[in-house]
Each structure stands twice: as C-alpha cells, then as structure tokens.
Amino acid sequence: MIQSLEDIAELAESIANKNSFFGRVNLEKIARKNKINIIANNYKDYFIGQLVHSCGKFYIHLNNDQLSDKELGRKRFTLAHELGHFFIDEHRLKLLKGQSLSYSLIGQENHKRIEFEANHFASNLLMPKNVFLKEAFQKEYGFDSILSLKNKFETSIECTTHHYLNHNVASLLMIKWNPDNTLKYTRYSQSFSELLGISGKPPVKYNPTYLLEQIQACEISNTGYVEKAIRLSKWISSIVPGGNKDLTGLEQTLKVGEFGAITLLLFFK
C-alpha cells in the first residue's frame, strides 16, 4: 500500500517527537529501538547509504568514502533517508520479500517516487514542521533564518533550504550551482509562484563572471553569504525589464563548501 506524502510526514514527525532532545532528533536511538544495525565502512562510489535486509535483520550501510565527518548534516540526512525506507511500509515490505529498491529492478519512475518518499520522510524526521516554523519566523527571511535552522537541527544547507521552500516560509526562488558554477537546478516556494505568476522552470540568466565574484565575496563575509537588492529581470529572462512583474527583491548567495553554491531571490508583497 502506497502511503500519501501527508501520512509519511505525519509518521516522521511522530517518531521525531518521541526521539528528540532540544530539537535534535537522535537517529542512532531510533535505529537501536528498531533493532537496525548501522555499519559505516568504505564502499568507494557504489552508494552513499543503503538499507538492506539479511538473515532476518535490517542493516543501514553508510559510505565513509562519500560522507565526510565535516558534513554532519549530509550524513544525518543520509541516515534519516535510510530510516525512511524502513518506516515506509511499501519500502520495508519490498526488502522483506527479498526485492531491491534499486532502479534496475523496479523501473525509473517508481525508483524516483520511492527515493522522493524517503527524502520527504527524512526532512520531516529531522525538522518537524511545528518546531521548524517556530524557529524560521524568529530570524530574518533567507539565509539568516536557514543557517539558524541548519544549526538547530544539524542538517545540511541544501536540505534545510528545500524544507524552507516546501513550508512556504517566504516568496523565494532558489538557484543551486554546481561546483564548477554551472546551473544545477531551480526551485521556488508556492508564494513565489503566486506572487509572480511563474510556473515550470523559469529561464535563469547565467553570468559566470558575476557569479564567481559573489562566491569569492562569500569567503570574506562575516555572515558567510553576500546580499544585495536586485530586480527580478536581472535573473529571469522571461521577465520584461521595468514591467509590472519586474519586482525589486533581495539576492543572497552562499558558498556550500565543495558542493557549489546557492543563490536565493526573495520578494515581498
């Protein structure tokens, strides 16, 4: 039986509420309570994390080659994701039947759904909605709030920003850059779409020289990110300069270690 995303979020939050201390969810405790063994080892580039069922027991394998101790948030998200595979009934039952959750056996679209569901579980396990929103509204919109949330929940910047968008905290467009400063993807909140009448993938303008200047400026910034006022037409080619949708907003750029950078565009009614 396929569980709805609402049910998955509710399940994750209920587990988090029983296993949290000052907002931080104890993932290892959850694994122990459910008799899941965590094994961290070196697996080259075969996978980042993996839940397996063998000899009547569940094991979560974490790949030390892919999960640096410096990126605690990424490691915690990976562990929470694999716990999602255990707690989501359909995923767990497949493993109990000896079936793999991998792409090759279940098809690309089904694999994407299963991975999306585990990501959804992980986000709501690590950052339960009520606590997340209460903390989010205590800081200025954008990276000031997101960095505070990251530190409170010990999550990654990228995961925290996605959760921030999903909960529609602000009218916000996120642009994720690859380590070589090329565009990786864009995401935006519901209120951003409603405010500007944008749907689908907005055509982002790419100025490599400007982006590099912003990323370099991040390294000497006291906050870790740089910001400035901009017009939306500077970034979105479908917006007519000076038109009624060419709103003035706030641009923020943050370097994300070896994982590239994130630019946020915030707009207010």
CB 91 within 8 A of CB 111: no
Single-letter amino acid code for the residue at 6: E
Is the entire prediction scored with pTM above 0.85? yes
Residue 199 has pLDDT above 90, yes or no: no
- Identify which has the larger pLDDT, 106 or 264: 264
Tokens of 78: 């990976």
Tokens of 125: 């396990």
Tell me whether strands 225-231 and 57-63 are parallel, antiparallel or unpaired.
Answer: unpaired
Q: What's the confidence (pLDDT) of residue 10?
A: 96
pLDDT digits (tens, 9 = 90+) for 83-141: 999 999 999 999 999 888 875 455 677 888 999 999 999 999 999 998 999 999 998 99
pLDDT digits (tens, 9 = 90+) for 158-174: 999 999 999 999 999 99
Tokens of 164: 């921030």
Q: What's the confidence (pLDDT) of residue 46?
A: 83
Q: What is the mean pLDDT of residues 22-38?
A: 94
* Residue among 186, 149, 197 nearest 169 (CA): 149
Rg (CA), the chain: 20
Q: What's the confidence (pLDDT) of residue 107?
A: 65
Q: What's the confidence (pLDDT) of residue 104?
A: 47
pLDDT digits (tens, 9 = 90+) for 201-217: 888 998 999 999 999 99
* Helix segments in the chain, DSSP class H: 5-18, 27-33, 72-87, 89-96, 103-106, 108-126, 129-136, 143-153, 157-166, 190-196, 208-218
Q: What is the mean pLDDT of residues 214-238?
A: 93
pLDDT digits (tens, 9 = 90+) for 45-84: 888 999 999 999 999 999 988 887 657 899 999 999 999 9
List domains and CATH numbers for the chain.
Answer: 5-126 (1.10.10.2910), 169-267 (3.30.450)
| Distance from C-alpha of 113 to C-alpha of 34, rounded to nearest angstrom | 24
Give how far the C-alpha of residue 9 lies from the chain's centroid of Cα atoms, to the nearest Å: 14
Q: What is the mean pLDDT of residues 2-14?
A: 93
